[in-house]
Amino acid sequence: MKDTNTYLLTGSIILGCMLMIAVIVLYFSGKPLKFRKKSKNNTVDDEIEEELRKNK
């Protein structure tokens, strides 16, 4: 019984660490996508501003 409890504890600790690493990796890999979306929006805004200047 003692062995199974130790294996269960060790397995849950390892699983928890792997889950935390996966969450951290996904969080940091998602950040550049947000920045890319912002930069795309900024370029669109810049193009609109240029067109408005030309129309004036």
Distance between CA atoms of residues 17 and 37, nearest Å: 31
Distance between CA atoms of residues 53 and 44, nearest Å: 14
Distance between CA atoms of residues 25 and 37, nearest Å: 19
Beta strands in 16-55 (DSSP E): none
pTM flag (> 0.75): no
- pLDDT, tens digit, for every residue of 17-53? 999 999 998 888 776 655 555 555 566 777 777 777 8
The residue extents of the domains of the chain are 1-54
pLDDT of residue 35: 55
